[in-house]
Amino acid sequence: MSNWLHGAVIYQIYPRSFRDSNGDGVGDLLGIVEKLDYVASLGVDAIWISPFYRSPMKDYGYDIADYSDVDPMFGALGDFDLVVQRAHALGLKVILDLVFSHSSDQHAWFQESRFSRDNAKADWYVWADAKPDGAPPNNWQAMFGGPSWTWDSRRRQYYLHNFLPEQPDLNLRDPQVQDALLDVVRFWLARGVDGFRLDVVNFYTHDAQLRDNPPLNLARTPARPHQMQRHLYDRTQPETFAFLARLRALLDQHGAIAIGEIEDEEPQKVQMDYTAGADRLHSAYSFFLLRAAEATPALFAQAMDGWNDAAGWPAWSLSNHDVVRVATRWAGDDPGRTQLMLAILLAMRGTAFIYQGDELGLPHAFVSYERLRDPEAIAFWPNGIGRDGARTPMPWTITKPMVGFTVGDDAWLPVDPRHRAMAADVQDAAPDSVLAATRKLVLARRNSIALREGRYEPLDAPAGVLAFARVSPAQRVICLFNLMPTPQAIPLPAPPQSLLISIGEAKIEGASAHLGGNSGLLVEI
């Protein structure tokens, strides 16, 4: 484990929507350079940059056509080098998003693989014969709707894709594929990056026998067909660990890290499995918190339970580019409750991700059907997640057109009118803003060895209150969060030494903590 990852706070940048430096309506790498001082002012340890590689943008960069080049809409390799140089000068580490479960169908590897059954890259993707009646090889369903198999008339076989048909699955069972992907890692390590976020890392291998997934036999039909099966065979296969061991050995040689994204029906178990030991990932996060509809004490307690004795280290996020923003999902678009959610995140044991705009408390944006760009949102409209609502332009300056995101007249997605009054420059001048609270919380975490690395100990508390301690040999911090609108008084287990931070109407009186509705505090005892 690289020690810097213990308790680190990582800021996710979705480059298309962060800052547009040239007025074409799409954020770019030079825009990131312009705003890195702002990111550093948050006190975070690193940035995670979502894909900016060459891509036909069917899934907005998560369909990669060239792993070792920058798409012209984002700039050039020299611009990326400037990002690394400026980030490192500010004390920020740089983590790149790598998508190894699949590529674009426009990648040269796939173009060669689909040409015939006997070319040099014939087995670099997952191909299978049709059933005798012409049906796909099995019943697997894609995340974005429809079967996970598409027929290719040249090879006269089906190819596997867990997402769009334009995102064919790489065959990581093939050592040559593994070698090629490790060369991609070497390319970016040589340019100075400090680590990688691995997209859907547990999708890397599939069942060699292509067995059908069993049905869930649900009482109510879900919105997506893939939700109707138990995903026993199309993901989370043990063969993935052999590749992760090779990847980990390479990263350890360079002092770099890897954090995996887990999408599974048993998120906690798989998080632990994928971080269990020195030959697996340095950390992993799942959708356990990201998909939860309600924030409850039991939810957070369940998230943290078991990690003290696990071999690995967890990571947590409340928002990202794929889900409804936390301010809307859990806080009812209330800035005070949003601050409480961020306080819980930054008190949890593990590495914390903050998605761009969450430090401003941005609500999930409304995007009309006519302006939707996300293929998932369009396919499942009006009942989908609406990922475009988490991807609208970052509001920088209240007085500028397009809130300072671009010097142009429009952007690839519209600006939500509610976001203008929440622009970074407005909140920078407001001591009670979500931005000010985020900076205080990150600083409190940075200055506390218990919050960065301490054990998690659950504490008894009244209904609606999340209570736990973070404990290191040198420090004990009590973390109390009232998730209810009614006030609560809670006795402290020992005399308080210092109040680290309070959120909302929370204070210490004698030997008790008095928590107003939707408030919290961190106190050293």
The token pair that represents 367 in the structure block: 């995007």
- SS3 sequence, 358-395? HHHCCCCCCCCHHHCCCHHHHHHCCCCCCHHHHCCCCC
Per residue in 83-104, pLDDT (tens digit) is 999 999 999 999 999 999 999 9
Domains recognised in the chain with CATH numbers: 3-103+175-442 (3.20.20.80), 455-524 (2.60.40.1180)
State the average pLDDT over residues 358-367: 97
State the average pLDDT over residues 155-164: 98
- Helix (H) / strand (E) containing 418: helix 417-420
Report pLDDT for 226: 93
Residue pair 346/441 in contact (Cβ under 8 Å)? The answer is yes
Looking at the predicted structure, is the pLDDT value of residue 70 above 80? Answer: yes
Per residue in 391-434, pLDDT (tens digit) is 999 999 999 999 999 999 999 999 999 999 999 999 999 999 99
Give the residue numbers marked as catalytic.
199, 261
Q: Pick the residue with more confidence: 381 or 393?
A: 393
The token pair that represents 517 in the structure block: 């509705």
Question: Which residues neighbour 464 within 8 Å (Cβ) at sequence distance 6 or greater?
Answer: 297, 482, 483, 484, 486, 488
Report pLDDT for 363: 98
Percentage of the chain beyond pLDDT 90 is 96
Distance CA 320, CA 356 (A): 8
Percentage of the chain beyond pLDDT 70 is 99
Looking at the predicted structure, is the pLDDT value of residue 1 above 60? Answer: no
Question: Which residues neighbour 317 within 8 Å (Cβ) at sequence distance 6 or greater?
Answer: 12, 285, 289, 290, 345, 352, 353, 354, 355
Say if residue 72 is preceded by a cis peptide, omega within 30 of 0. no
State the average pLDDT over residues 371-400: 92
Distance CA 203, CA 239 (A): 11
Distance CA 291, CA 280 (A): 25
Residue pair 157/136 in contact (Cβ under 8 Å)? The answer is no
Residue pair 72/182 in contact (Cβ under 8 Å)? The answer is no
In the sheet with 455-458, reading across from the earlier edge strand, the strands are 455-458, 465-472, 475-482, 519-524, 498-503
Per residue in 226-278, pLDDT (tens digit) is 999 999 999 999 999 999 999 999 999 999 999 999 999 999 999 999 999 99
The residue count for the chain:
525
Looking at the predicted structure, is the pLDDT value of residue 372 above 60? Answer: yes
CA atoms within 13 A on the CB side of 19: 19
CA atoms within 13 A on the CB side of 498: 6
Residue pair 398/421 in contact (Cβ under 8 Å)? The answer is yes
Residue pair 83/32 in contact (Cβ under 8 Å)? The answer is yes
pTM: 0.97
Considering the chain, what is the average pLDDT of its residues?
A: 97
State the average pLDDT over residues 25-35: 98
